[in-house]
Amino acid sequence: MTALAVNALCKSFGGLRVTADVNLSVEPGERRLIIGPNGAGKTTLFNLITGELTPDSGSIRLFDRDITRAACRQRAHLGMARTYQIITLFSRDTIVRNVTLALLGLSKLRWNPFVDLDREGGLIDRAHDALTRVGLGHIAHRQLGQTSYGERRRVEIAMALAQNPKVLLLDEPFAGLSIDERRDVQQLLLAIPRDVTIVMIEHNMDVGLEFAERITLLHFGEVIVEGTRAEVVADPRTREVYLGE
């Protein structure tokens, strides 16, 4: 059984082929890194996998279940969570409310118009747990507008982790972070248990390489190289495409 299987996936915007016949097969518990230069179609691939975009052809399977036609919101209920490269948070709310909204998304309670959300202790405790995991427990009640960029990156991860996903898609979780912050986020990602399968897009090769077992290199929407860390690094096509040699 594969955790995530992408088969012959294609997507064009007008005449531009952004995803060209992409195949991807991620084992349960695997850490997969997707690299590629700007415009390689990495984020588009994520948007196709999460259902924010509809593919022109091809199929996507989550634990052997065909989800090609499933709506984006259903994929969240099936155990898929993602973070965004461009931080996408609820800026008028507190940190803990952001994470509570992530938990609420998978709870029947989200339709309830009668109870007071602030008194839903169980949900809020779980939100605090997720924030403690990413090291933000002490500032849980801070307004999001008063947090630093690095803290927001961690709120993104906390929201995804809070949903207890089977497959976690991280879109450049280190983007814009300082060296210290990067190390913290890396520790945090290494601590995620193996029952979560992780696919990560990363522009910055050195951070990403340490993390992943297998690496997929995308270029102009196509998979150019795929293999173990050593294989991909050694491959001359990687140097040609990615390192610009």
Partner 1 sequence: MSPRLARRGFIVVALFLLATLPIWVGHPYYINIASQILFWAILALAINILVGYAGLVSLGHAGLIAMAGYAAGLSLEYGSGHLVAALLAFVAVMISAAVFGVLALRTTGIGFLMITLALGQIVWGIAYRWASLTNGDNGVVVRTRPEPFGLSLTSPDAFYYLTLIVFLIAVVSMAIFVRSPFGASVRGTRDQPRRMTALGYNVWLIRFIAFLFSGFWTGVGAMLYLYYNQFISPQVAALQTSAEVVLMVIAGGTATLLGPIFGAAIVVIVKNVVSAYIERWNLVLGLIFIIIIAFMPEGLVPGTVRLFRVGWQAMLPRTKVTAVRNDGDPVR
Q: What is the gyration radius of the CA atoms in the chain, in angstroms?
A: 18
DSSP β-ladder status, 57-62 and 4-13: antiparallel
Looking at residues 119 to 138 of the shown chain, list those that interact with partner 1 (rule: CB under 8 A).
Answer: 120
Site string for partner 1, 145-164 (x = CB under 8 A): --------------x---x-
Applying CB under 8 A, does 112 fall inside the site for partner 1?
yes
The residue type of 112 is N
Least distance CB 239 / partner 1 (angstroms): 35
Return the number of the residue (120 or 235) whose C-beta is nearest partner 1.
120
Q: Is the dihedral of CA 116, 120, 123, 124 positive or negative?
A: positive
x-marked contacts with partner 1 along 41-80 as a string, rule CB under 8 A = ---------x-x-------------------xxx-xx---
Q: Of 46, 54, 55, 51, which is closest to residue 26 (Cα–Cα)? A: 46
User: Should residue 115 be labelled a site residue for partner 1 when binding is judged by CB under 8 A?
Assistant: yes
User: Applying CB under 8 A, which part among 9-17, 25-33, 90-98, 128-136 lies near partner 1?
Assistant: 90-98
Q: How far is CA 80 from CA 171, 179, 195, 223, in A?
A: 13, 29, 13, 22
Task: For partner 1, give the closer residue by CB, 168 or 207.
Answer: 168
Written as six digits, the tokens of 84 are 């965004």
State in Å, rounded, how far the first CA of the chain is from the last one: 38
Half-sphere exposure of 81 (CA within 13 A, CB side): 21
Q: Taking CB under 8 A as the rule, does residue 239 contact partner 1? A: no
Interface pick for partner 1 out of 9, 102, 158, 217 (rule CB under 8 A): 102
Q: Measured from the CB atom, is 81 or 232 closer to partner 1?
A: 81
Select from 72, 16, 66 the least CA-distant residue to 39.
Answer: 16
Per CB under 8 A, 106 contacts partner 1: yes
Burial class (CB in 10 A: 0-12, 13-18, 19+), 76: buried
Those residues with Cβ within 8 angstroms of residue 90's Cβ, 6 or more apart along the chain or in another chain: 97, 98, 101, 144
Q: CB-wise, 57 or 112, nearer to partner 1? A: 112
Q: Which residue is it, tokens 């005449």?
A: 15
Q: How far is the CB of 127 from partner 1 (least distance, A)?
A: 12
Minimum gap (Å) between residue 118 Cβ and partner 1: 7
Q: How far is the CB of 159 from partner 1 (least distance, A)?
A: 7
At its nearest, how many Å lie between partner 1 and the CB of residue 78? 9
* Binding-site ranges for partner 1 (CB under 8 A): 50, 52, 72-74, 76-77, 81-82, 84, 88-92, 97, 100-102, 104-107, 109-118, 120, 159, 163
